[in-house]
Amino acid sequence: MSATDSERSVRGALREMVTDSDLRMIAVTIAAVYVLLVGVAFYFDPDQAVNLSATYIQSVTIFIGGYAMLTLALNLHWGYTGLFNIGVAGFMGVGVYAMAVLTAPVNPATAGATPGFGLPLWAGLIGAAAAASVVGLLTALPALRLRADYLAIVTVALSEIIRLLLNSQALSEVTVFGATFGTGGASGINYAGPSPIIAGTLFDTLAGPVTGALLAVGVDPRTWGIRPSNFEGMIYGVVLLVATAGFYWLLFRTGNSPFGRVLKAIREDELVARSLGKDTRMFKIKAFMVGCALMGLAGALWFGRGGFTSPTQFRPNITFFVFIALIIGGAGSNTGSVIGGAVFAGFLFYLPQQLGTVIPQALPQGAGAGDIAAAVAALGGGDVLPLVGYTVSNISRLRFVAIGVILVWLIQRRPDGLLGHRTEPASSIDINQRPGTGGTDGRPAAADGGEERE
Amino acid sequence: MSEPDSDAGPVEENIPEDVDAPDIEEAEAQDSDVEEAAKHVPSSIPLRVRDLRKTFGGITAVDSASFEVEEGTITGLIGPNGAGKSTTFNLITGVYSPTSGSVTFQGQDITGLQPEKIANRGLVRTFQIARELEEMTVLENMLLAPRGQRGERLITSVLPGLRSGVDDQERELLERAWDTLELFEIDHLAREDAGGLSGGQRKLLELARALMTEPEMLLLDEPFAGVNPTLEEKLLDRIHALREQGYTFLLVEHDIDLIMDNCERVIVMHQGSVLAEGPPEEIRDNDEVIDAYLGEEI
Amino acid sequence: MGATETYSRGVRFAVERPGTVILAVAMALLSLDLLMKLLGMELFFLGVKLLGGSIGTDAFGTVLLDGLTVGVSVGLAGIGLSMTYSILSFANFAHGDTLTAGAFMGWVVAFGLAGLLGATGDVTPGTLVLLEATPEIGIIRTPLIVVVGMVAAGVAAVGLSLLLDRIVYRPLRSADGISLLIASIGVALALRYLIAFVFQTSSKSVTSTPLQVTLLGQISMSGNQFFLLVVGAGLMLGVHVLLQYTKLGKAMRAMADNQDLARVTGIPTERIVRLTWIIGGGLTGVAGFLIGLERGVVIFNFGWLLLLLIFAAVILGGIGSIYGAMVGGIVVGVVQAMSQIWIPSELTRAAAFVVLIVVLLVKPDGIFGGVTTA
């Protein structure tokens, strides 16, 4: 499979990030989610379909971005290094709260609101990553030598301790060296969120010029019936996808490298790595810190986007969802992580939720009313509708049952998930080519290979 | 298969092969422990083990074992089952920490250091049950081994400017890996997952990988266990060739004939301590050694 | 010289094991502080209160009792988790939801029985089955209903555990512990939200205002709480008798003691597996029912919320040790309750988790781990 010289330079550039086929896989998955949602919008609510589609698309994109970023971070911990970290929610919480505390106004307008340091957004985001990685370091130092299931218990216990501390009255407001700040306890903190700042600003600046440009070609976006908030949401969705791409780039370079090689070795057999002279403890700590920093940042960009956060957002469930996304996509594969995140967020999490809203509206009045006992009783009389109505109204609950069942099925039948069987070569260059020889002999380079230079 | 050098005692580069050098050996054996300890460890003795002791709960697995391995030799470590060979191995390489005693490598005390520190000083071991990293390819296994890789520092691998330096080193290492694989005649398996290799091929990979670390001394833990005769020959060829190049080997093995035929010196352990040390023909005639083995299954 | 030698040995110990020393000192200080608080004494130094204060014996007694109550329930539930961990070699994250499921089933039966006996007046069966109405149930008012419900909870939990083993865990018998752990997370999720699907997520009141009992003319508690303590202690005693005096118990102890034997023989026999689920599941279901009885409410995720505490108990006591689970449970419950004396009550759970983490880091074997008891 030889490429012509002119193609090589372009290909080389593309290969640096993501190869065609990987990008295509991700794009197709996301597109499928979009298509399905738009279909639902048009089928169930033809009048409002355009705006509803827009709402769906911007919402799901934000979910996809958030889950993809977290799954990528968890892939570094679990897929690459074999660190069974189920404290993801805790590290997210640290990130969001760090940003909140740093960016909350020094003199809040509302009485009784928790003040902060009033720093700009970029400081908040850096603080989010830094704080989460410091907590990661403190966790890693004593805990990384534990075997996997003990590490799991430690991380989930830690995650809960973090949440309980964030929720406590004691830390809701403190004054240190004249600066007053705090966690806000159960009431949370209000601050200037990334979405209003980034997407809001972009929308405000671009709305005018873009509308003008579109009008010039005879298209009037104002007649589409899409609310401005949806445009802002879509812009932020794009922001998150860009952030996801950034995470991917970072993790690609981390994994496809000598560093990543040692991580993979640690996952498989740490003693071998040590017997070859690798200080595995340092590698694990670094990988853990980077992963936690990413979790903190993802948390800040996703859960913290609106400008309000509270401890209830950080229960362990979110950790398990990220794990499921990782297993679906295939632990060990970065592309798999993104796809797993998209599949989970789009098909398993968001879609059923929306169906649970639109389908009951389409059913006859009162079909879903009543409890399940009444619905089952109605079955006896041959009336299926109450049960159907009940089921659909409670689809939010059923989706988790389905997710649990899917997880068990995956572990039993396809523990590698979608892409886990693919080996991403742990080197910064394409090692399947013998240096000095021209073409490939034997198996062609794996999809995520590095660039080739002469 | 006999090695013509084995009758000549410890091999030293400047002594012609047909000169027997029993005096040197006698002199060493007569030094008292105090004098030994007081002497600076000569560089021709890269590995020295002194009064090594290891107890696990109530069991003393290694009981005051002392021996030396001389540079550029192939030394064999044998003994009946339960003699403490594996434990000694693990004590030297840092997998276990000794209860008492010392291990000195190239004049430096390495007693109780972590395995990675010991390996980094050039004392590299292989494993008895070949521990291939099964989900990584043969090439990846090979590339894992070398020391001092720039790309193992996270920053260097990630930052755009520095990554090209990593690429350059990767290419060098890749070249060396291919050459080494060719030497061991397993280059055709380079892109295979290590998990798909046969037992014998894994042994070859284990040794090839250890070589990639550019070691000063190699500790081989039963490298011939379960290996067919052809492969055994190949492995032995490699080991002798490497010895010619100056590598030092300490082999633990159960196959006594193999050790007798290939090693310049043999150390026999029994019940946790060193029973006898010396060239193979001495060991062969040593009554205590024979008794020890007769009492056990060989 | 005896004294100097002891001194230097002591110093060496302190340097080698600083963690243990700090822990011991901390415990000594806390115990001293507690004693002084009970006696109403205080210790000042340079105008700063160092130790002591005051706690009424009544208040302390309540705290202790509440801790014991939580401890007994957690200990009871922990036995099953400990057994699963050692015999099936995985951390069962679905254990809490099994507790919830058993409890719900038990209460459905209890309500149903109450309805049959006419104790609920004019309520539809549907409402009863979904625990929507609140009949006047309590151990003193309606002992039969409570006991039947309790047994039903145990039986239901056993059935559920065996079913789950059949469809989820048996196909994975040869898989590693982490795969089983992940599978159990899936089971936990599915179970919890199945319950939420049927029963909704609001809290269900299951007893009416409980009648009080008074022990020794001094200690007053609700009849339901008393029942929990009695049954809990009784079941633990029963397990002890089982382990020490029956053939089955001896076999179980041998199995637990001889981890190497277990490892050599590989996969445990299906009979042992079944027994693990039966005994563990039964105790767990009963524990869940009793917790609901004592608290007066059940909610779809109350077992899940207890899971980490149960893990704490099991790990503290030593995985695989049944006695360890019992003792660990009581210790965790009491420590959590008593920590209220020193830290804000909203943080007592966090304190229990800190203890869990410390135990895992310092002595993962727990109290009884590595010791030859079941």
Residue of chain B with shortest Cα separation from A16: B160
pLDDT at B32: 52
pLDDT per residue as tens, chain B (298 positions) = 333 433 333 333 444 444 444 444 444 444 455 554 544 555 577 888 888 889 888 888 888 889 889 888 899 998 888 788 888 989 999 999 999 999 999 888 999 899 999 999 999 999 887 777 888 889 999 999 999 888 888 888 888 888 888 888 989 999 999 999 988 888 888 888 888 888 888 888 988 999 999 998 999 988 888 788 888 888 888 899 988 988 999 999 888 888 888 898 999 988 888 888 888 888 888 887 777 776 654 4
pLDDT at B19: 44
User: Average per-residue pLDDT in chain A?
Assistant: 85
The CATH-assigned architecture of domain C66-362 is Orthogonal Bundle (1.10)
A300, A124 Cβ separation under 8 angstroms = yes
Q: Do A157 and C308 touch (CB under 8 A)?
A: yes
When pLDDT is averaged across residues A219-248 and rounded to a whole number, the result is: 87
Alpha-carbon span A331 to A334, nearest angstrom: 8
Most B CBs within 10 A among A257, A334, A451, hence the mutation to make, goes to A257
**A353 at the C interface (CB within 8 A)?**
no
| Residue C71 parent element (H or E) | helix C57-87
**Residue C373: pLDDT over 60:** no
**Residue A277 DSSP label:** T
**Residue A247: pLDDT over 90:** yes
Alpha-carbon span A89 to B44, nearest angstrom: 57
Which of C195, C197, C178, C208 has its CA nearest to residue C93? C178
Chains C and B touch, contact meaning at least 3 pairs of CB atoms under 8 angstroms apart: no
When pLDDT is averaged across residues C335-364 and rounded to a whole number, the result is: 86
**CATH class entry, domain A2-362:** mainly alpha
- The SS3 call for residue B220 is strand
Alpha-carbon span B132 to A264, nearest angstrom: 12
Chain B contact set for A443 (CB, 8 A): 191
**Residue A292: pLDDT over 90:** yes
Chain C contact set for A388 (CB, 8 A): none
Q: How far is CA B67 from CA B273, C193, C229, C362, in A?
A: 10, 66, 65, 37
Q: How far is CA A290 from CA A253, A280, A297, A423, in A?
A: 13, 15, 11, 22
Alpha-carbon span C318 to C370, nearest angstrom: 8
- pLDDT tens for residues C199-250? 989 898 888 777 888 777 677 788 888 889 999 999 999 988 988 888 877 7
User: In one letter, which amino acid is C83?
Assistant: M
When pLDDT is averaged across residues A222-245 and rounded to a whole number, the result is: 88
Which residues lie closer than 8 Å to B35 by C-beta, 6 or more apart? Answer: none
**A404 at the C interface (CB within 8 A)?**
yes
* ipTM > 0.90, yes or no: no
Alpha-carbon span C291 to C71, nearest angstrom: 11
SS3 per residue for A156-201: HHHHHHHHHHHHCCCCCCEEECCEEECCCHHHCEECCCHHHHHHHH
User: What proportion of chain C, given as a percentage, has pLDDT over 90?
Assistant: 37
Neighbour count for residue C114 (Cβ, 10 Å): 24
| Residue A8 parent element (H or E) | helix A5-17
Task: Give the nearest partner residue to B152 out of A250, A259, A271, using CB atoms.
Answer: A259
Burial A199-217 (b: 16+ CB within 10 A, else e): bbebbeeeeeeeeeeeeee
When pLDDT is averaged across residues A352-374 and rounded to a whole number, the result is: 78
Alpha-carbon span C303 to C97, nearest angstrom: 5
| Residue B219 parent element (H or E) | strand B217-221
pLDDT at B15: 41
Residue of chain A with shortest Cα separation from B94: A275
Instruction: Give residue for tokens 């805990």.
Output: A143
pLDDT at B79: 86
**Residue A207: pLDDT over 70:** yes
Chain A contact set for C350 (CB, 8 A): 160-161, 164-165, 168
**A425 at the B interface (CB within 8 A)?**
yes
Alpha-carbon span A108 to A353, nearest angstrom: 36
**pLDDT higher for C288 or B21?**
C288
The model carries a pTM of: 0.86
**A49 at the B interface (CB within 8 A)?**
no
User: What proportion of chain A, given as a percentage, has pLDDT over 90?
Assistant: 45
Alpha-carbon span C335 to C340, nearest angstrom: 9
pLDDT at C256: 64
- pLDDT tens for residues A176-203? 777 778 888 888 888 888 988 888 888 8
pLDDT at C119: 63
- pLDDT tens for residues A391-444? 888 888 999 999 999 999 999 998 888 887 777 778 888 777 776 654 444 333
pLDDT at C37: 76
pLDDT at C355: 86
Instruction: Give residue for tokens 């299951």.
Output: C206
**A172 at the B interface (CB within 8 A)?**
no
- The SS3 call for residue A30 is helix
Neighbour count for residue A420 (Cβ, 10 Å): 22
Residue of chain A with shortest Cα separation from B134: A268
Q: What backbone torsions phi and psi does residue C65 show, to the nearest 5 degrees?
A: -65, -45
Most A CBs within 10 A among B167, B182, B192, B211, hence the mutation to make, goes to B167
Domain-wise residue ranges, chain A: 2-362, 364-421, 423-454
- The SS3 call for residue B41 is coil
